[in-house]
Structure 1
Amino acid sequence: MPLESPLSFFISASDSSRLSWSHFNLDIASGVSIFFGGKAAVSAFALQPMYGRIWHGWYNAPGCHAIVWELVRTVLQGPFSLYSERLALSLGLDGKEGPKYIASRSGTVMQHTRHLAYVLNNSSWRGKECKPVVVGQRISPTPMQLMIVDFKKKVPTGNDTLPPRSSRHSSLPMIASAASIAACAMCVSVEDWLSFKMILLGIISSGITSSIMSTGNITLERLKPAHGVPRGDGMLLSDTRIVILRGNEEDVNAVTKGKLRLELKGGGYTVLLCAFIALLQVTLQLVFMPFGSLPGQLMFLLSLLVSVACNLYLSANEDEVQSSALITLLNTPEVKTYQASSRATAAVLACLALCWESNTPPTQVLQEIVPIKPKAWKAWSEFVVDNIREKRTQFVWGKNESTDCLNDEEDKLLLELIDDAHAAHDQYIKDHTIA
């Protein structure tokens, strides 16, 4: 007896089991299921302008009610003319708080920076470097990564903003689309035209809104500094990473103070159109889906399950996709990344990066990263400051009043700190000479 194909088996099973199915239905489940995954749906929806592909999002996805809420709230919070800034905030494209920033030349301290600084500080991006350069041999409980970002090219802003693009996980929506199309085909095979129409409605409505969003234009807006201000050199400082920014004040401002906006053709009216389409999908599916047959409801739930899995994965990797996309706004700066074995090593690297070619006091940088008041640290910091001020290509160490009062334990710590400083200095001079 030949084996039946999966499709013919499914059809015969549906015909022979109608009596048993009459005692079991998914009416409530199929209606309520469209409200699951709202946060993930908003995250996936917000990533569309970074992918820039109009074929993304063509699948029957749950959670559209959350998208409706965010879009309507965006429009109602203020005038249409300012919707772009509010839209970026509502969809999570802006608004995250970046780390502390210390400007080495002007002395300005910002306790919190803006979204682009957050992305830069938390990304795994290292420019053209495949691996960070390891500096120092000491095993320390506080290793740090230090990244030097040189803005050699001007960072375009406003209407000249470079389009942010990412290819991370860009093929994943194809799986959800294939699952939704397959669910439609199965509904046709059992002649459940109502379920077929509801799944198709989800595909079309989600596809249209995603296509509109994929054509959105993300722009970077920055404050224009006053004439005559010094260079914007400084550092973003967090517990495990230091990001050195070197460049003109306006380029550094784009990272520390820049605002992101999402502009759509048609402005706020386009936002309302997307909200209306998503609301129509939610309403019709909520009203009519419970009247579908059991196999049709199963196919509907299956399409939602695959779609919500796709959205959840994209939501979990939102920071990764954002970082790969938004960093393109910086116009390919030159980057050098170091993996410092200790916080002291990172502190010396930061001093060299910010003070070697300027008149910035090294003490100002050191005290933001390491403690310099304890005796051993005080003696070490004096050595570091003196050698950097003199711009010595070989660090010279000698005893002074600060080293005379150290006990054996402090002497041991000082020697370790000196080794850290030597390693940082030698590596920086090597890279600086090559450059």
Structure 2
Amino acid sequence: MPFESPLSFLTGASASSRLSWSHFNLDFASGIAIFFGGKAALSALALQPLYGRIWHGWYNAPGCHAIVWELVRTLLQGSVSSYSERLSLSLGLDGKKGPKYIASRSGTVMQHTRHLAYVLNNSKWRGNECKPVVVGERRSPTPMQLIIVDLKKKVLTGNNTLPPRSSLHSSLPIIASATSIVACAICASVDDWLSFKMILLGIVSSGITSFIMCTAKITLERLKPADGVPPGDGMLLSDNRIVILRGNEEDVNAVTKGKLRLKLKGGGYTLLPCAFIALSQVTLQLVFMPFGSLPGQLMFLLSLLVSGGCNLYLSAKEDDVQSSALITLLNTPEVKTYEASSRASAAVLACLALCWESGTPPKQILKEIVPIEPRVWKAWSEFLEENIRKKSTHFMYGDNESTGDLDNREGKLLLDLIDDAHAAYDQYIKDHK
């Protein structure tokens, strides 16, 4: 055995130490990496019923522990036969609180609506018909968007399930699947069959769970209103957006009170194998993956990194995809969008949309959007009420009892409010001749 110089010995020992320390860290990393990305994994799973792609999810993904927890929690919270509501809540397909709703004809006020109203209020409306019409030129600190949704066709509920949809993001899982398959092949080429089996386990486990979820059906359940009730016209009101709903009471109720359900093809008992498979994946990968070779662990981490990135991207787009899909349940409503320069302009548009044909007193709508008790606002609201009552084709105003007591500052504000009302009034009449 040749004699080694002290310098060569120290260099070799240092390199060996770094390799051992690196390998130790990699053992640790490959063991705990599966616990990252739980929220993103749930979001990706929730998109399966919306996409309906049986080849989605066939990749080695992190975050399965979160899926196990949600599925088990769904089963433990009640009987297997009543799982559909709890499952939609667990996956985030239902359960969010929508904005306040004011029914213009009946006077009903709901402080919080349900998930579909939340989706409707937060949706990024697309298409030429949804291109906002700018109303008013005054720069106000409180601009608002107003969207008029006419529910001309019957909202799809009960047995009418939401059909799967495609999107720009629906092909992204192919990249994650290809990466996991290549990682398996590389592990086989270096004879690391342990890492090969662990990656393959992740592909099969995630794939089976995704396949079962993609066959699920999303349905909307609603309460049938009493006979003879008036149309359910009203508005969803939030800080910077007003959504006007016009249609019969039953369809508007589906938006404000409807409950979304996720029904699996095999029933609630299908959740048991899904939870067992995901739990097996987490347990086996946690126990055995640290014993893989260095190349195998690198391939395992690479597959998790790419698939986790895919899940994270899909999670970021979940609201967009969900709103685009769930609005399909409204059966292609007619939509008109306005970008009001001030809250006063938005209030005028809301009054015209809800009061012009129905005869509802505008004051009932105005008091929910703007203050009408101060003298200047009271005078302005009286002008608006008179124009709507007379069904004037142009906004008219003049002196009355309320304007006589206004000082110079209030007079200037009144002129600004009249300009807002004039712009909104004329634009609405032009669009709805």
Matched, 1:152 2:183: no
Q: What per-residue deviation string (whole Å, max 9, x for no partner) do you get for residues 260-307 of structure 1?
A: 000001211111111111111111111211111011001101111111
CA distance in 2, matches of 1:96, 1:48: 19
Cα deviation, residue 318, structure 1 = 1.6
CA distance in 1, matches of 2:168, 2:363: 42
Residues 190 and 418 of structure 1: CA distance in aligned 2, closer, same or farther (over 3 Å): same
Cα deviation, residue 321, structure 1 = 1.4
Contact 1:218 1:260 survives alignment (8 Å): yes
User: Segments of 4+ in structure 1 off by > 4 A?
Assistant: 17-23
Cα deviation, residue 130, structure 1 = 5.1
Give secondary structure in 2 for the equivalent of 1:134: strand
Structure 2 counterpart of 1:9: none
Cα deviation, residue 19, structure 1 = 9.9
Q: What per-residue deviation string (whole Å, max 9, x for no partner) do you get for residues 96-148 of structure 1?
A: 00000000000000000000000000011146525211111111111100000
Structure 2 counterpart of 1:55: 55
Cα deviation, residue 163, structure 1 = 2.1
CA distance in 2, matches of 1:251, 1:161: 16
Structure 1 counterpart of 2:346: 346
Q: Which moved more, 1:369-378 or 1:244-253?
A: 369-378
Residues 377 and 126 of structure 1: CA distance in aligned 2, closer, same or farther (over 3 Å): farther
Q: Which moved more, 1:124-133 or 1:34-43?
A: 124-133
Matched, 1:303 2:303: yes
RMSD: 1.5
Give secondary structure in 2 for the equivalent of 1:338: strand
Contact 2:27 2:290 survives alignment (8 Å): yes
Contact 1:84 1:263 survives alignment (8 Å): yes
Structure 1 counterpart of 2:290: 290
Cα deviation, residue 156, structure 1 = 1.6
Cα deviation, residue 20, structure 1 = 7.3
Structure 2 counterpart of 1:46: 46
Matched, 1:220 2:204: no
Structure 2 counterpart of 1:337: 337
Q: What per-residue deviation string (whole Å, max 9, x for no partner) do you get for residues 324-359 of structure 1?
A: 111111100000000011100000000000000012
Residues 209 and 298 of structure 1: CA distance in aligned 2, closer, same or farther (over 3 Å): same
Structure 1 counterpart of 2:12: none
CA distance in 2, matches of 1:24, 1:432: 70
- Aligned positions of 1:234-313 closer than 5 A: 234-313=234-313
CA distance in 2, matches of 1:128, 1:155: 22
CA distance in 2, matches of 1:232, 1:166: 32
Structure 2 counterpart of 1:406: 406
Structure 2 counterpart of 1:181: 181
CA distance in 1, matches of 2:186, 2:310: 21
Counterpart amino acid of 2:74?
T
Counterpart amino acid of 1:98?
G
Structure 2 counterpart of 1:167: 167
Contact 1:126 1:336 survives alignment (8 Å): no
Cα deviation, residue 165, structure 1 = 2.6
Counterpart amino acid of 1:64?
C
Contact 1:165 1:326 survives alignment (8 Å): no
Structure 1 counterpart of 2:209: 209
What is the identity percentage for the equivalent residue pairs of Structure 1 and Structure 2?
A: 81
Counterpart amino acid of 1:183?
A
Structure 1 counterpart of 2:117: 117
CA distance in 1, matches of 2:406, 2:18: 87
- Aligned positions of 1:22-37 closer than 5 A: 22=20, 24-25=22-23, 26-37=26-37
Cα deviation, residue 75, structure 1 = 1.1
Contact 2:162 2:217 survives alignment (8 Å): no
CA distance in 1, matches of 2:316, 2:279: 25
Cα deviation, residue 22, structure 1 = 4.8
Counterpart amino acid of 1:321?
V
Counterpart amino acid of 2:408?
D
Counterpart amino acid of 2:364?
Q
Contact 1:146 1:338 survives alignment (8 Å): yes
Cα deviation, residue 411, structure 1 = 0.8
Give secondary structure in 2 for the equivalent of 1:409: helix
CA distance in 2, matches of 1:47, 1:298: 29
Structure 2 counterpart of 1:96: 96
Contact 1:127 1:336 survives alignment (8 Å): no
Counterpart amino acid of 1:334?
E
Q: TM-score scaled to structure 2, two decimals?
A: 0.94
Give secondary structure in 1 for the equivalent of 2:301: helix
Structure 2 counterpart of 1:14: none
Provide structure 2 residue ranges, at least 5 long, that are not aligned to the other structure.
1-14
Counterpart amino acid of 2:332?
T
**Count of paired positions:** 417
Structure 2 counterpart of 1:4: none
Cα deviation, residue 164, structure 1 = 5.2
Give secondary structure in 2 for the equivalent of 1:171: coil
Residues 234 and 337 of structure 1: CA distance in aligned 2, closer, same or farther (over 3 Å): same
Contact 2:130 2:335 survives alignment (8 Å): no
